């Protein structure tokens, strides 16, 4: 789901980067690691799906499991913020951030026109190609896959397509269904606003009419209301999280970020509500997994509602599955959400890679 990042007030926390690594080096050809104890800090463009796409690879020990992070949005790349949010993870995992097709530095390198297509199938193929490259470049049998919001759509598709590439899939703020997720959000927001006598919000949301919508602006209108009510029920993320690293804070980099965000959002919702999101119905198309799957869900998420995710998890079959509900968490990441994900990785997922 589109996630325009806000700067939120909070105290500095221990999750800030626990790893002081040397300046990143270009992606090396061939094997990146000479020993398991070697640190890695690479960044650059890799040919994926016929175009150069931006990735970063960071970790303290090459022997650690590799996690490929699929960002949300689409278009909301995590590479500018990864060190602040995930820096402490780099002690025990090698983290790969990827600016997907149509987003961030990848968008800047391959400027599309409004007519340039963007599809879930195409981007999932990109993801599989990247995962295959990572197993070769980092000398791994498999990697761990995690996707949030929009990235969770790609995560499911990649897991179904090539389960042998992944030890497990971890979905956070998991999207399940175009129809079910939107309808549940619409009804819940109206109910919350009615409960507190917020007639202005009730009128604004009801004016959209029940989803699905043909007007692409409607999704953005509902998203703003969702943020308003989630902010009242969740812990704020640290302000330091959403300050981009210097290399991503230049005028050119910011222009590429914003351009990719706009382009990808239109492809996501479509000009007549017929975009990539409209094709998603995992309850019908993704019921059997050949790898362990885990879902971390914010209890106060008003965009991908907990009951929709829970119902889906109960309905699927997989070698191992688990649903984790985290209090004081909405759709976007905050400290309890990141801590819950790390706990799951350490206790349930990492043992699968041994």
Residue 32, domain member (yes or no): no
Per the CB < 8 A criterion, the answer to whether 324 and 305 are in contact is no
Tens of pLDDT, residues 300-325: 999 999 999 999 999 999 999 999 99
Residue 69, domain member (yes or no): yes
Residue 135, domain member (yes or no): yes
Q: What is the mean pLDDT of the chain?
A: 93
Place of tokens 């497990």: 168
Give the model's pLDDT for residue 23.
Answer: 85
Tens of pLDDT, residues 96-152: 999 999 999 999 999 999 899 999 999 999 999 999 999 999 999 999 999 999 999
- Cα separation values, 52 from 126, 198, 202, 257, Å: 11, 48, 46, 16
Residue 5, domain member (yes or no): no
Tens of pLDDT, residues 11-29: 333 333 433 456 899 999 9
Give the model's pLDDT for residue 143.
Answer: 98
How far apart are alpha carbons 104 and 71 in whole angstroms? Answer: 11
Tens of pLDDT, residues 139-188: 999 999 999 999 999 999 999 999 999 999 999 999 999 999 999 999 99
Residue 151, domain member (yes or no): yes
How far apart are alpha carbons 106 and 98 in whole angstroms? Answer: 9
- 246-252 average pLDDT score: 97
What is the extent of the structural domain holding 329?
Answer: 39-353
Residue 272, domain member (yes or no): yes
Closest alpha carbon to 264 in 45, 79, 108: 108
**Per the structure, how many domains does the chain have?**
1
Residue 238, domain member (yes or no): yes
Residue 29, domain member (yes or no): no
Residue 115: how many CB atoms within 10 A of its CB?
A: 5
Q: Tell me the CATH number at 208.
A: 3.40.50.1820
- 220-244 average pLDDT score: 96
**pTM listed for this prediction:** 0.93
Give the model's pLDDT for residue 21.
Answer: 52
């Amino acid at each position: 789901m589109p996630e325009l990042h806000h700067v939120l007030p909070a105290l500095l926390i221990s999750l800030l980067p626990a790893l002081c690594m040397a300046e990143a080096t270009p992606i090396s050809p061939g094997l990146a690691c000479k020993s398991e104890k070697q640190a890695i800090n690479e960044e650059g463009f890799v040919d994926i799906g016929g175009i150069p796409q931006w990735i970063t690879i960071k970790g303290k020990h090459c022997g650690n499991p590799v996690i490929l992070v699929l960002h949300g949005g689409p278009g909301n790349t995590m590479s500018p913020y990864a060190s602040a949010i995930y820096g402490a993870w780099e002690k025990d995992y090698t983290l790969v951030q990827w600016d997907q097709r149509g987003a961030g530095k990848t968008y800047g390198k391959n400027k599309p026109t409004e007519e340039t297509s963007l599809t879930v199938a195409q981007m999932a193929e990109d993801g599989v190609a990247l995962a295959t490259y990572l197993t070769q470049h980092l000398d791994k049998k498999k990697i761990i896959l995690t996707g949030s919001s929009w990235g969770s759509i790609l995560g499911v598709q990649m897991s179904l397509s090539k389960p042998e590439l992944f030890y497990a899939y971890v979905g956070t703020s998991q999207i399940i269904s175009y129809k079910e997720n939107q309808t549940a959000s619409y009804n819940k927001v109206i109910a919350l606003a009615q409960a507190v006598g917020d007639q202005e919000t009730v009128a604004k949301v009801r004016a959209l009419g029940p989803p699905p919508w043909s007007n692409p602006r409607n999704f953005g209108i509902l998203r703003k209301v969702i943020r308003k009510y989630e902010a009242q029920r969740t812990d704020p993320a640290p302000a330091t999280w959403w300050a981009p690293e210097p290399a991503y804070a230049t005028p050119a980099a910011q222009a590429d970020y914003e351009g990719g965000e706009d382009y990808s959002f239109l492809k996501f919702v479509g000009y007549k509500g017929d975009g990539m999101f409209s094709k998603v119905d995992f309850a019908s198309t993704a019921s059997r997994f050949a790898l362990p799957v885990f879902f971390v869900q914010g209890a106060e998420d008003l965009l991908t509602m907990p009951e929709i995710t829970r119902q889906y998890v109960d309905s699927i079959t997989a070698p191992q599955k688990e649903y984790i509900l985290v209090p004081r968490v909405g759709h976007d990441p905050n400290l309890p959400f990141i801590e819950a994900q790390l706990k799951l990785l350490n206790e349930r997922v990492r043992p699968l890679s041994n």
